[in-house]
Copies of this chain bind each other. A is one copy, B any other.
């Protein structure tokens, strides 16, 4: 259960921040699919740290080594495994984390759960660095989905209280998605993006951090993925998205706003367009009764602010049970949302491909 997910596609993510390597095993990829390594490299770059002023200056080489699963870059039906060797690991003493847990990190519950044996170096298995293997797996799934006419794109929907405009839930063009993916700071509105950067830099200057949301859209989805009750496509996507560290919420279509609407406002009327059954609006976010409707799937995920902040915080020494003041040192993204965008795309791709193969 822990770091494995999926039904037809089985993803096993492994590694700790300061172990020899992090990586992923992907079982169940269909045979005969080409993996474009350059495209994968470009996708990985979108998640890589150190790309701009609002990101941690720490640089990871993040060179992906695909160990198996391919023959001449074509999937061969065997599990695909890939690793990233850890190089930039300043292995100073992290043991103090077992004594004084950092607020909003997994330190304290992990200490209890693993009896003090957890790897605390750099966040261990809880590190955001583990999203890199998710991007390897998801980046490959994205390539396979694209060949089936399915596009997945995400953008920063908000940082703090600065909001980007939303995707048109009725559909976005591939050009729009590609443009946003090409952005170092992926928003629909460049002005709002600029505001968000300022918001992040302001938080950073105060030794603080800030949260935000990521909106994701999937176009080209066939009708009929998912199923009733626990087989719902929304539940499947949600369970995968909550696998990303720092996610605190998810909503599909109108989501929490739908809870404030009436049925007449929220129900999407049916129409015929381009010879196909479509809806005039897409408050459903492309899913009804757990099943895809053929309209774009749209959801938004909430990310909490980066827990590691320079400001002093109150904690407790576990050995003496005395309160103490903690200062988290080191370089951390003052906002993880920009780098979370490709991770959301990756995880969504894994969930979608799983749903398609399961259909």
Q: Which A positions have Cβ atoms within 8 angstroms of B?
A: 1-5, 7, 10-16, 19-23, 25, 27-28, 31-32, 65-71, 74-81, 83, 101, 103-106, 108-110, 112-115, 117-119, 121, 124-126, 130, 158, 160-161, 203, 206, 208-213, 223-224, 227-232, 234-236, 238-240, 242-243, 245, 247-256, 258-272, 275, 277, 279-280, 283-285, 288-294, 302-309, 311, 313-316, 318, 321-323, 358
Contacts and interface: CB of A to CB of B under 8 A. Distances in A.
A302 B259 contact: yes
Contact of A117 (B23, B77, B130, B213): B77
Q: How many of these chains are in the complex?
A: 4
A104 B68 contact: no
Contact of A77 (B125, B264, B303, B313): B125
B67 A14 contact: yes
A309 B267 contact: yes
Q: Binding site of A, secondary structure by majority: helix, strand, loop or mixed?
A: mixed
B212 A259 contact: yes
Contact of A307 (B103, B235, B263, B306): B263
A34 to B, nearest CB: 10
Contact of A235 (B81, B238, B323): B238
